Structure 1
Amino acid sequence: MDFDAIVLGGGIVGTSVAVHLQRCGVKVALVDRRAPGNETSLGNAGIIQREGVYPYAFPRDLASLARYAGNRATDVRYHPSAMPKLMPFLFRYWHHSRADRHADIAKTYSTLIEHSVSEHRELIEAANAQSLLRTNGWLNAFRTNRAFELALAEASRWREEYGIPFEALSNDALHRAEPSLGPSLLAAIRYTSADSVSDPSALVAAYAKLFEKLGGTVCIGDASTFGPGWKVSTELGVITAKQAVLALGPWSGDLTSKLGYRLPLEVKRGYHMHYASKSGATLNQPVLDAEIGYVLTPMARGIRLTTGVELGYRDTPKTPVQLDAVEPFARETFPLGERLDAEPWLGRRPCTPDMMPVIGPAPRHANLWFAFGHAHHGLTLGPITGRIIADLMTGEMPLVDPSPFRADRF
Structure 2
Amino acid sequence: MAHDVLVLGAGMVGVSCALHLQQRGYDVALLDRREPGEETSYGNAGIIQREAVHPYAFPRDIKTLLSVAGNRRLDVRYHPRAIPALASPLLRYYARSAPRAYAPIAAAYASLIALSIDTHEALLDAANARHLLGERGWLMLFRSDKQRDAAFVEADNLLALGVNHRKLDAAQLRATEPALRAELSGAVYWSDPLTVRDPGALVKAYAALLFARGAAWHQGNAQTLRQTTEGGWQVDNQHGEAVKARQVVVALGPWSPQLTGDFGYRPPLFVKRGYHQHFQPVAGATPRHWMLDEERGYLVAPMARGLRITTGAELAHIDAPATPHQLRAVEQVARQLLPLGEAVEAEPWKGARPCMPDMKPVIGAVPGQRGMWCAFGHGHQGFTLGPATGMLLAEMMHGERSSIAMEPFSPARRF
The interval holding the TM-score normalised by the smaller chain is over 0.9
Q: 2:393 aligns to what?
A: 389
Show structure 1 runs of 4+ deviating over 2 A. Answer: 183-186
Deviation of the 1:135 alpha carbon: 5.4
**SS at 2:323 equivalent:** coil
Q: 2:57 aligns to what?
A: 57
| 1:339 is aligned to 2:343 | yes
Aligned partners of 1:15 and 1:30 also within 8 Å: yes
| 1:33 is aligned to 2:42 | no
2:356 aligned partner, one-letter code: T
**SS at 1:407 equivalent:** coil
1:53 aligned partner, one-letter code: V
**1:122-180, Cα deviation, whole Å (9 max, x unpaired):** 100000001012352011101111111121122122223x1311111111111111110
Q: Share of identical aligned residues, percent?
A: 49
Q: 1:196 aligns to what?
A: 195
1:248 to 252, 256, 259: 252
Q: How does 1:115-126 map to 2 (within 5 A)?
A: 115-126=115-126
| 1:86 is aligned to 2:86 | yes
1:171 aligned partner, one-letter code: A
**SS at 1:271 equivalent:** strand
2:30 aligned partner, one-letter code: L
Q: For 2:159 and 2:106, how far apart are their aligned partners in 1?
A: 13
Q: 2:328 aligns to what?
A: 324
Deviation of the 1:224 alpha carbon: 1.0
**SS at 1:169 equivalent:** strand
2:353 to 339, 349, 355: 349
Aligned partners of 2:247 and 2:372 also within 8 Å: yes
Q: For 1:68 and 1:92, how far apart are their aligned partners in 2?
A: 18
Aligned partners of 1:184 and 1:332 also within 8 Å: no
TM-score (norm 1): 0.98
Q: For 2:184 and 2:326, how far apart are their aligned partners in 1?
A: 20
Indicate how the Cα distance of structure 1 residues 31 and 374 shifts in structure 2: closer, same or farther if over 3 A, else same. same
Aligned partners of 1:48 and 1:194 also within 8 Å: yes
Deviation of the 1:228 alpha carbon: 1.3
**1:177-228, Cα deviation, whole Å (9 max, x unpaired):** 1110112332100111111111100000000000011111111111110111
Q: 1:171 aligns to what?
A: 170
Q: 2:368 aligns to what?
A: 364
2:286 to 269, 282, 295: 282
**SS at 1:134 equivalent:** coil
**SS at 1:409 equivalent:** coil
Deviation of the 1:391 alpha carbon: 1.3
Aligned partners of 1:2 and 1:241 also within 8 Å: yes
| 1:257 is aligned to 2:261 | yes
Aligned partners of 1:249 and 1:373 also within 8 Å: yes
Q: For 1:189 and 1:363, how far apart are their aligned partners in 2?
A: 42
Q: For 1:400 and 1:276, how far apart are their aligned partners in 2?
A: 43
Aligned partners of 2:40 and 2:352 also within 8 Å: yes
Q: 1:5 aligns to what?
A: 5
Q: For 2:184 and 2:198, how far apart are their aligned partners in 1?
A: 26
Q: 1:374 aligns to what?
A: 378
Q: For 2:295 and 2:99, how far apart are their aligned partners in 1?
A: 21
**SS at 2:222 equivalent:** strand
**SS at 2:188 equivalent:** strand
Q: For 2:273 and 2:110, how far apart are their aligned partners in 1?
A: 24
Aligned partners of 1:135 and 1:194 also within 8 Å: no
Q: How does 1:49-198 map to 2 (within 5 A)?
A: 49-134=49-134, 136-160=136-160, 162-198=161-197
**1:322-356, Cα deviation, whole Å (9 max, x unpaired):** 00111111011111100001101001000000000
Aligned partners of 1:185 and 1:333 also within 8 Å: no
1:384 aligned partner, one-letter code: A
2:76 aligned partner, one-letter code: V
Aligned partners of 2:218 and 2:237 also within 8 Å: yes
Aligned partners of 1:245 and 1:368 also within 8 Å: yes
Aligned partners of 1:54 and 1:103 also within 8 Å: no
Q: For 2:102 and 2:302, how far apart are their aligned partners in 1?
A: 32
Deviation of the 1:43 alpha carbon: 0.2
2:236 aligned partner, one-letter code: S
2:412 aligned partner, one-letter code: D
> How many residues of Structure 1 are paired with residues of Structure 2 in the alignment?
409
Aligned partners of 1:11 and 1:40 also within 8 Å: yes
Aligned partners of 2:135 and 2:288 also within 8 Å: no
Deviation of the 1:280 alpha carbon: 2.5
Q: For 1:58 and 1:205, how far apart are their aligned partners in 2?
A: 33
1:235 aligned partner, one-letter code: Q
| 1:267 is aligned to 2:266 | no
Q: For 1:153 and 1:104, how far apart are their aligned partners in 2?
A: 21
What 5-or-longer segments of structure 1 have no aligned partner? Answer: none
**1:244-298, Cα deviation, whole Å (9 max, x unpaired):** 0000001001001111113110100000000011232122121000011000011
Aligned partners of 2:8 and 2:250 also within 8 Å: yes
1:232 to 232, 235, 255: 235
Q: For 2:222 and 2:184, how far apart are their aligned partners in 1?
A: 45
RMSD: 1.1
Aligned partners of 2:265 and 2:367 also within 8 Å: no
TM-score (norm 2): 0.97
